[in-house]
Structure 1
Amino acid sequence: MATKEDYKLDSLPYYDKELENDTKLRDAAAKLIADELANSESRDLSGELGDDISTGFLTSSDLLRQEMERAGKGLQLDSFDASRYALAEPEVENVGEWKKSYNNAVIASEYQQLRSSNLDLLSALGANAWKLSNHTLDADARSLEQQSEQINNKIIDINRLRKSEQTKIGENLNTLEKSWGGLVSNNLELEVATIALEVELAQLAEREQQLRASLQ
C-alpha cells in the first residue's frame, strides 16, 4: 500500500488544459488537492531558514535602537553640541575658575589636534579605503548576481523537465484513456452479444418445447 512518502504531490499544468476552460472542473480539482494536502504532512520552510540576524543586529546596541526609534518617529537628528568646547571667561581674581578654563582650553586644543590628525589620515587614506570598500561591494554584488543567475537557470531547467515529464505522462494518460474507452466499448459489445445470445437460446429452447409438444 502506498504511503505519503512514496510519491510527491504535483499537478499537471502543462497537460490539464481543460482546467482553464471548465470552472466547475477546476473547483473540483482544487477541492481534491486541498483534501490531499489536509491529509499530508506540512513542512514549515521558514523554520529552516534560521533566525533573522537583522533583528538581533538592530537590538544589539542601545544607541542604535534609540536611533531606529527616532527615525521611525520621523524626529530630526540632534545638531552637534559645541557648547562644551566654548571657553567662558573666568573672573579675574578666581584662581579655580582660571584653572578650570585652562583645563578646558587644553582639552579643546587636544581635541582639535586629534580631529586635524584624523582629517589628515582621512585625506591620505580615505580615498583608497573607499575604493577598496567599493571593490569589495562590487565583488559581493557580482557573486550574488551569479548565484541569482544559477538559481534562475535551475528554475528554468526544472520547469523544462516538468514540462517534458508531464508531456510524456499526458501522452501515456491519453493512451490509457483511449485503451480504457476501447475496453468499455468492447465490454458493451460483448454484453449486447451475450444478451442477444441469451435471447436466441431462449427462443431455441421455446422452439424445442413446441416441437416436443407437437410430436407427442
Structure 2
Amino acid sequence: MAPNHQTVLHPSIPALPQSQFSSLMQKELDRKEANLPLTGGIDLSRYEAPEAPEDTLASGKEPAEILHCWQQTLRKAYTASSHLSTRQENLALLEAHGKNAWLIGNSQLEDILRRIEKELQETKEATDAVHKERKMRQETARGELVGLEDAWKRGVSGIIDVELAAEKLRQDILERRRQLSGVQMQ
C-alpha cells in the first residue's frame, strides 16, 4: 500500500468540487448556522388595504395635513390595488397555461431524476470495482504477508534457540572451570 494512501484518492474517484458561495449566500448560511431570525426582506404591509385616516377638523389637524394623510392612504390603496390586479392576471394565466407548464416541469424533473439515478448507478459500479480491486490486492498480498510473518517467526525462534544454546554452553564452560579448579586445589 502506498504511504500516502490516506490522502490520495483512487484514480477512478473524482475530486470534490470546491464550493464557492456569493457573499450574500455566505451571510445567509452564517445567519442560519447561528439560528438568528430572518430580518429585512419585503415589507408586505404595503399590499394590505390601508385604513382611512381621521378626516374631521375636530381631530385638531390642519386641513392640509388631513389632505396629505388622505393622499398617502390613496397611494397605498393604489399600490394594493395594482398588486391585486397583477395577482389576478397571474392566476388567470396560471389557470389557462398552468397545467401544461406543470406537466413540462414534471417531465424536466423526471429527466433530471433519470440522469441522477444513472449517475448513482455508475458511481455504485465504480465503488464496487474499487472494492473488488482492493480485495483482490489484499488477497494477493496475503500469501506474501503470511510467508513474511512465518519467516520472521522462524528467524526470531532461531535467534532464541541460538541464545539458549549459547547460554547453556556458557553454563557448561563455567561448570567445567569450577570442576577443574576444584581438582587442581586438591
Q: TM-score, normalization: structure 1?
A: 0.45
- Whether 2:123 is the aligned partner of 1:143: answer no
Q: What pairs with 1:1-216 in structure 2 (closer than 5 Å)?
A: 60=26, 62=28, 66=32, 96=78, 100-111=83-94, 115-203=98-186
2: CA distance, partners of 1:153 / 1:184:
47
Long gaps (5+) in structure 1? 1-44, 70-87, 89-93, 204-216
Cα offsets for 1:73-121 (capped at 9, x unmatched): xxxxxxxxxxxxxxx9xxxxx9947655322211333455674343222
Long gaps (5+) in structure 2? 9-15, 36-48, 50-73
Q: Which has the higher contact order (CA 8 A, sep 6+)?
A: 1
The amino acid across from 1:183 in the alignment is A
1: CA distance, partners of 2:153 / 2:27:
59
Quote the offset at 1:160 in angstroms: 4.4
Residues 190 and 116 of structure 1: is their aligned pair in 2 closer, same or farther, counting only changes over 3 Å?
same
1: CA distance, partners of 2:99 / 2:184:
121
- Detail structure 1 runs of 4+ shifted over 6 Å in the superposition: none
Cα offsets for 1:149-208 (capped at 9, x unmatched): 3233444445544332121110111122112111111111111112212222223xxxxx
1: CA distance, partners of 2:87 / 2:139:
69
Identity of aligned residues (%): 5
Residues matched between the structures, number: 136
1: CA distance, partners of 2:136 / 2:127:
14
Residues 186 and 101 of structure 1: is their aligned pair in 2 closer, same or farther, counting only changes over 3 Å?
closer
The answer for the alignment partner of 1:22 in structure 2 is none
Residues 191 and 125 of structure 1: is their aligned pair in 2 closer, same or farther, counting only changes over 3 Å?
same
Quote the offset at 1:61 in angstroms: 7.8
Q: TM-score, normalization: structure 2?
A: 0.51
1: CA distance, partners of 2:27 / 2:137:
40
Q: Cα RMSD over matched residues?
A: 4.5
